[in-house]
Amino acid sequence: MICRPGSASSSSDAWYACVSRERVLQQGFYVLEGEVEFLVGTEKMHAARGAYVTVPIGVPHAFANTGNEPARFLNTFTPPHYLNYFEELSNLMFTGMPTALQMRELMARYDTKVVGVRMG
């Protein structure tokens, strides 16, 4: 995944910088280049190249690129069914920016809930 400077956890203005929680999913983020700020639970952390951040099941989280350069990271999911979320999101974005209703419906299908906004 590429996170451009100033971008955050989500790609739609309605969901910009959302703090989300997945009920049945553990995530990992391995930073390949650049720098990413993460919020995992109540802990904020700065992750640079080579860092690995784990998000346990059910823990609210968000990320943002607060730097001036693009950041690239690998995102892992256990169990892997969540990869379909990104495929569906990509299909929605192919025709334009998803609406808030489309995002809520998509997130609901993957047991994802927005629990807050903005990391700052």
One-character DSSP codes across the chain: -EE-TT-BS-SSGGGTTEEEEETT-EEEEEEEESEEEEEETTEEEEEETT-EEEE-TT--EEEE--SSS-EEEEEEEESGGGHHHHHHHHHHHHTSPPPHHHHHHHHHHTTEEEEEE---
Confidence at residue 10, expressed as pLDDT on a 0 to 100 scale: 46
Q: Where are the domains of the chain?
A: 2-81
pLDDT for 81-101, tens place per residue? 888 888 998 898 888 888 888
What confidence tier does 110 reach under pLDDT thresholds 50, 70, 90? confident
User: What does pTM read for this prediction?
Assistant: 0.74
CATH class name, domain 2-81? mainly beta
Evaluate if residue 109 carries a pLDDT over 60: yes
Between CA 95 and CA 32 the distance in angstroms is: 29
Evaluate if residue 71 carries a pLDDT over 80: yes
What confidence tier does 32 reach under pLDDT thresholds 50, 70, 90? very high
Q: Could you tell me which residue, 77 or 20, shows the higher pLDDT?
A: 77
What confidence tier does 119 reach under pLDDT thresholds 50, 70, 90? very low
